[in-house]
Homo-oligomer: A and B are copies of this chain.
Amino acid sequence: MPNAAMLVIGDEILSGRTRDANTHYLAGELTKIGIALREVRVVPDEEEAIVAALNALRAAHDTVFTSGGIGPTHDDITADCVAAAFGVPIDVRDDARALLQTHYDRSGTELNAARLRMARIPEGAALIENPVSAAPGFALGNVYVLAGVPAVFQAMVATVLPTLTGGPPLLSQSLRIERGEGDIAGPLGELATEFPELSIGSYPFQQDGVYGAHVVVRGTNKAQVDGAMVRLARLFGT
């Protein structure tokens, strides 16, 4: 199965000011098309940290998504860091500038020096459309550089995903079992050994005095997933 990683860039996530929403969204969308999200990193708005994380992730995974740091302010340094990571030059590019010019002309807003920073694109990158606020993301090698604002991030993900080659979709079924995890753990472990190609996870819950676990069976082979679910139901008969 093709795999992917996510790099979240932003002091505001690490300080606790903002709760990252993009990772959870991307995780769900990738799962639907059969791409396994294998690693996430969150780093501050600092060149050294961004470049090191990006180079580690793009070497280890088929595809890398970044979110954040592509706006017009001084703390938006993602595009420059991506250029540095790839060792390519970066400058204002005409096609990106034209997108911004059209957008700002429509509202009578000046395309000043700060806004023009959003047209700085590393050499060799392909633009990713931003239907919300015009400033484009871009793809370079196996790295997709997307906005941090969730509405824009999601729009860009919708543009990018159909261009990627997914694997067979990851099927998922779950069973709610109202017993302590400690009671089901033994037989569950044996079931996991019996179905080595499936991922079988147990997620405890406690709600209104009822406790138990959701057991989730994931895999790409429908017969196997179904088979494991039948065994699960027999083991913990509900």
Partner-B contacts on A (CB < 8 A): 8, 11-20, 23-31, 36-45, 49, 71-75, 109, 112-115, 117-118, 149, 170, 172, 180-186, 188-189, 192-193, 199-204, 213, 216, 218
If A39-B43, A41-B39 touch, whether A181 touches B72 (CB-CB below 8 Å) is yes
Distance in Å: Cβ of A141 to nearest Cβ of chain B: 22
Q: What does DSSP make chain A's interface, helix, strand, loop or mixed?
A: mixed
Q: Which residue of B lies closest to A151 (CB)?
A: B206
Contact A17 B216 (CB under 8 A): yes
Kindly name the residue among A31, A71, A117 whose own CB sees the greatest number of chain B CB atoms within 10 A.
A71
Distance in Å: Cβ of A56 to nearest Cβ of chain B: 9
Contact with A27, one of B15, B38, B180, B203 (Cβ below 8 angstroms): B15
Contact A16 B39 (CB under 8 A): no
Contact with A13, one of B12, B27, B75 (Cβ below 8 angstroms): B27
- The CA of A201 and the CA of B170, in the complex, are separated in Å by 39
Q: Which residue of B lies closest to A187 (CB)?
A: B114
Contact B27 A114 (CB under 8 A): no
Contact A40 B42 (CB under 8 A): yes
A-B pairs, top 9 by smallest CB distance, nearest first, are: A114-B185, A16-B28, A16-B27, A74-B189, A115-B182, A40-B42, A73-B202, A19-B24, A72-B185
- The CA of A201 and the CA of B213, in the complex, are separated in Å by 41
